[in-house]
Structure formats: C-alpha cells, structure tokens
Amino acid sequence: MDNSLWIALIASAIGTLLLRLLPLIWMQRHLTHRKSKEAVEEMPSWLSVFGPVMIAAMFGVSLVPSRMEPSAWVATAVGVGATLVVWRFTRSLGWPVFAGVMMYGVVILVF
C-alpha cells in the first residue's frame, strides 16, 4: 500500500477523534466551571446544532460522485432517489441507506 493512503487514513482518524473529543472536553470543563459557581447547568445552544450540521456536511459530500463520469452521476442520482423513496415509506434510517447503496452498486455494475 502507498504511504499516502496511510497518511490519509491517519489524518481521517485523527480528525474524526477530534470532532468527538474536543466538544466533550469543552463541555466537561464548562459544566465543571458552572458547578463551581453553583449556577444552573445549561447546555450551550451551539452544541444542539453541531450534530445536524455534521450530518448535513457528510450528506453534501456524499452527493458528489467519486469519479466525474456520467455513470457515476447517474448512479448517485439513482441512489439518492432510492434512499428518499424508501425513507418515505419506512421513516427509518437503516433501510433507506441500504436501498441507496444497493441501487448505487447496481447502476455502477450495469454501466
């Protein structure tokens, strides 16, 4: 395996760790500081937005195909369409993702 792949994997792992660890450490310090002042513990409003923003960012990245070819664009569109249709009927998370990935794979294999 090429060294650049290992560097990318390590950078991704560190970035993922920091995205989870930094808010946790910040919140622990915040709560400890508030407790020492005997104030009412309150979660900052920006933390409630952090999760949906991260999900939206991952969703946005997944909408751009890995290859800039018509087959990849069609596969992405079909996968997103399948995901939305299955979500409409099931209102769950697992089955729509499964359906979208399967349809993406089928279109890639057919083309």
Instruction: Supply the range of the domain harboring residue 37.
Output: 1-42
Q: What is the pLDDT, as a whole number, of residue 67?
A: 81
10 and 60 together in one domain? no
Tens digit of pLDDT at every position of the chain (111 positions): 678 888 999 999 999 999 889 888 988 887 777 776 665 556 667 767 877 888 888 878 888 887 888 989 999 999 999 999 999 999 988 899 899 999 999 999 998
Q: How far apart are CA 51 and CA 49, in angstroms?
A: 6
Question: Which residues lie below 8 Å from residue 40, measured CB to CB, with a gap of 6+?
Answer: 34
Look up the pTM and report it. Answer: 0.53
Question: Which residues lie below 8 Å from residue 99, measured CB to CB, with a gap of 6+?
Answer: 82, 83, 85, 86
91 and 65 together in one domain? yes
Of the candidates 79, 64, 68, 87, which has an alpha carbon nearest to the alpha carbon of residue 109? 79
60 and 110 together in one domain? yes
11 and 29 together in one domain? yes
